[in-house]
Amino acid sequence: MNSNEKIPVILDTDIGSDIDDTWALAFLLRSPELKPKLILTETGNTTYRAKIVAKILERSGYSDIPVGIGIHQSDDVGPQQPWVEDYEISDYPGTIYEDGIDALVEIIMESTEPITLICTGPLTNIAAGLEMEPKIASKARFVGMHGCLYKSPPGYGGGDGGVVAEYNVKADPKACMKVFSAPWDITITPLDTCGFVRLKGERYRRILECEDRLVRDLMENYKIWLKSRKEDWLETFRTQSSILYDTVAVYLAFSEELLVMRDLGVKVTEDGYTLVSKGARKIHCAIEWKNLEAFKDLIVERLTEQG
């Protein structure tokens, strides 16, 4: 690829549950290597999630990016609802696709260049897209934040740092099985790598004090999310981010330089585990960091210096 060419991407996100999806969206928007063709909302109340996406895009000057509403599974809203309480999806000045799966398939099939799917939630939408048009697998590659191969961050799912059933897989194992068996190139960041990204100290202070509109909206959402989770939220807000799992999937869409990658057979079980198995489909996996500190620096630089 010519160094001046941007990689066309579709982000499939369950933004509005864990705040890391909001960080990942901001990181994507500030990554000059990437050209977003669609932001598609995934899982549960996908209209609630689309409101968050649309409001962020509109307020930060990115309303040329279409928003797709994924498969609706619930009317429940999540912790960032206060931020979009008065925002109507019809107010978005850009394109809203009510049928996000149809839009996903159409954009991939009509593209003259391969599309990179960045998937940071359960894979219900992507499995539906494959069901609608299996040929999308020949015109796209998959990059996802999924699974746990050898280790997890201590406390994840109540565990002690060992192998766990990672949420994005466990929430819809059958969809993950379908996506992981499709004939496209698959790259994942499991908890082994993405579960150890957190900003503290001077790095976090730069984010906290940044006056850029996108970063201010990100931090306002972080504050609302924290308030919904813990009574002593203010001290956390002043000192550190949450774990930024999904930012690593965005990074893998354009670079692998800072990570150790291995092609491993990965089997998805019915209860949501991702097991390393010699006979299973080979997946390109980020198993450990070469330079985690450089990745943290990259996030901060992108968010604070490119606004």
End-to-end CA distance of the chain: 26
Token pair recorded at residue 21: 């999806």
Q: What is the DSSP secondary-structure string of the chain?
A: --TTPPEEEEEEE-TTSSTHHHHHHHHHHT-TTEEEEEEEE-SS-HHHHHHHHHHHHHHHT-TTS-EEE-----S---TTGGGGTT--GGG-SS-EESSHHHHHHHHHHH-SSPEEEEE-S-SHHHHHHHHH-GGGGGSEEEEE----SS---TTGGG--SS----HHHHT-HHHHHHHHHSSS-EEE--HHHHTT---BHHHHHHHHH---HHHHHHHHHHHHHHHHH-TTHHHHHHHB----TTHHHHHHTT--TTEEEEEEEEEE-TTS-EEE-TTSPEEEEEEEES-HHHHHHHHHHHHHH--
CATH homologous superfamily for 7-197+245-292?
Ribonucleoside hydrolase-like (3.90.245.10)
Q: Where are the domains of the chain?
A: 7-197+245-292
Rounded distance between C-alpha atoms, residue 146 and residue 141, angstroms = 15
Q: Confirm whether pTM is higher than 0.95.
A: yes
Each of the 307 residues of the chain gets a pLDDT tens digit; together they read: 444 799 999 999 999 999 999 999 999 999 999 999 999 999 999 999 999 999 999 999 999 999 999 999 999 999 999 999 999 999 999 999 999 999 999 999 999 999 999 999 999 999 999 999 999 999 999 999 999 999 999 999 888 999 999 999 999 999 999 999 999 999 999 999 999 999 999 999 999 999 999 999 999 999 999 999 988 899 999 999 999 999 999 999 999 999 999 999 999 999 999 999 999 999 999 999 999 999 999 999 999 985 4
